[in-house]
Amino acid sequence: MSRTTHARPPKRRGAEPRPPRAVPRKKTKAAVELAPLVPPDLKRCQAMKPNGVSAFSLGGVPARVRCADAPTVVITETRPGDDGRRGSMSLCDPCLQVARSQLGDAAFDFKMIPRRVVRHG
């Protein structure tokens, strides 16, 4: 072994007390009670959109149905929602355009879904 010693700050006895150890914070009660967020579905767009039946159409019920397209991005809310958490969801291109026009770009961050998730054939 080499004799060189690494320079260390001199130890002082009786100096200021050590900083307290980082104690892992206990989970707050609220965090425990909340159900886990639904993870973004990378196989199917999670937007709900009108089914094309208006309230004045004859027959059919106006409703919102889940988009069936393959998503291209995952958006995450920029600000936490009422529950204090930031939700995220997957969207296809057309639904992303709707979300951007309705909510504005500042409302969420978006991240492209890697192409490998999309199946070919």
- The residues that touch Zn ion, with contacts defined as CB under 5 A, are 45, 47, 67, 69, 92, 95
Of the pair 45, 113, the CB lying nearest Zn ion is at 45
- Say if CB 46 and CB 89 are below 8 A apart: yes
Nearest Cα to Cα of residue 90 among 40, 49, 28 = 40
- Which H or E run includes 82? none
- Say if CB 56 and CB 31 are below 8 A apart: no
- Which H or E run includes 100? helix 93-103
Rounded least distance, CB 110 to Zn ion, Å? 13
Of the pair 69, 109, the CB lying nearest Zn ion is at 69
Rounded least distance, CB 46 to Zn ion, Å? 8
Distances (CA, A) of 111 to 28, 53, 54: 30, 32, 33
Rounded least distance, CB 108 to Zn ion, Å? 15
Of the pair 89, 95, the CB lying nearest Zn ion is at 95
Of the pair 34, 38, the CB lying nearest Zn ion is at 38
Rounded least distance, CB 111 to Zn ion, Å? 16
- Say if CB 64 and CB 54 are below 8 A apart: no
